[in-house]
Structure 1
């Protein structure tokens, strides 16, 4: 307990920063990943190709390299200046979106084709069919893998600690500089992530229960 109590000025703000990083990247990934999924099921070949290339390239690129690009290489382009936190958010969003896309696309594929055909018969456009008919059903069917992907995002956020972002993954380094027990500090960090994952698991169970009743 001494390690935790003596370093509350690290654990508190750093975990809050981790939660902030996770929430922003999670929202961005869900939005962008859903858009990618729509591209992948689009009737337009060019859109499908763009979505496929993006997912294939990003899913096979190590997250550390994505971070390295936005932290070190992107500033050299001199387009828009971003700080380390923003670079971490963009890196996590770009990377996780590819996985969210595949989860949402698998959910779309579970919706009977007759649903889309019925929508077309009513005169709905492709966007309306996806937004009003297919996606609501698809998202209900992929809650477990979707939450699992977000849990992976939460754990991946620790990589930001190696790129000058003051979040939970960087606590060990600061504890080392203070001369406290690093192993104990890591155990407290692990406990913190276990609690955060437990919260996400609770959200998953709640959504599954609510949406199963709705169906």
Structure 2
């Protein structure tokens, strides 16, 4: 991302230094050209880029495609952190969500999760998930919106959850080095947590 911005800045500067004023007007003075370049830079954020499908790939990719206002998401992140968000990058994506890292100029970071169209009724899914995360308090949710309509106060134009990043290592990184006993204890602990949540009679009241 930084490299693309650097290339664009260098290109713009070299064009503006040319004596041909018509070229300067056509390229540097054209907001349409800059907007087109911005869309091209942001487009990979909207697409699924983690794999391929052997069957009906066009339909699968369409289900994974979600467009949102990148600048508005950065601005929302800046408001939450209290510092200007200068970079956004995609961390990972599954079948139903994309996760982005929002980094600020003072080296702070928050994560943004945006659902894909195939995630279901996003309004209810997100409201339920935010309520659950708020209940277990891990990770800490610092902002969210379940509305994707521009008619509602959500300029991001997509549902999103902003949360603090949990320090640590991915389970996929340490799993190969764990002993059978360690793996068993881990799975047992996870099952105990899930059983406790599933056994709550007032879980619906979280909403």
TM-score tier, shorter chain, comes to under 0.3
TM-score, with structure 2 as normaliser: 0.27
Q: Rg larger in 1 or in 2?
A: 2
Higher normalized helix content (fraction of residues): 1
